[in-house]
Chains A and B, each alone.
Chain A
């Protein structure tokens, strides 16, 4: 069954530093992949999605993710972290018409 694995339940960066959140998918053929963000006490907001077009996907708030088939990875990056980026980030994969989520990575941004 399709699944995604997020490495690191907590990531802490300084403001202005690079953000790198890791996600690996389980299948040999890249599925539809998503990154969602959840701010405290809020719902999930779509950051970006891969749907078999370009392997470098740009999303909202300066985030992007690159699909690397050789590594079965879809890591989320942002060149310069802002305090407002502090949230929980979820990688997700479509499997059998459903959206299956990773465990999430909580991002902290230090001033």
Chain B
């Protein structure tokens, strides 16, 4: 299994632009999580899905952030419009089975200038 795949690995964009981060979870995993990591706030859960349905989006910072999971093998996290304070590493993770083993992707490092 290739693990959780995120793209792109790095993204540099200008303030005000739309940014879309992508994630392919491990096949068969029924939970998908989006996390954000910053120096100031550490690792924060943004949103998670179960069987493609958003369960808890209370961690999404504001309406500029949105996430979708159109099918079991793909999810997106969109920021529109982006701001410099959105600069962070965004991780996707998936989980499946009776014991909660979470597998993380390599992350997308977003820089908004």
> What residues make up the interface of A, taking CB atoms closer than 8 Å to B?
32, 34, 36, 41-46, 49, 51, 90, 94, 96-104
Contacts and interface: CB of A to CB of B under 8 A. Distances in A.
Instruction: Describe B's contact surface by its main secondary structure.
Output: strand
A98 B45 contact: yes
B3 to A, nearest CB: 9
Interface residues of B, number: 21
> Residue among A44, A94, A103 with the most chain B CB within 10 A?
A44
B43 A97 contact: no
A98 B48 contact: yes
Nearest to B91: A43
Interface of B: 31, 33, 42-43, 45, 48, 50, 55-56, 91, 93, 99-107, 109
A103 B31 CA distance: 23
Contacts of A34: 102
Tell me what chain A mostly uses at the interface: helix, strand, loop, or mixed: strand
Contacts of B91: 43-44
Nearest to B6: A43
Given A44-B91, A104-B42, A99 B100 contact: yes
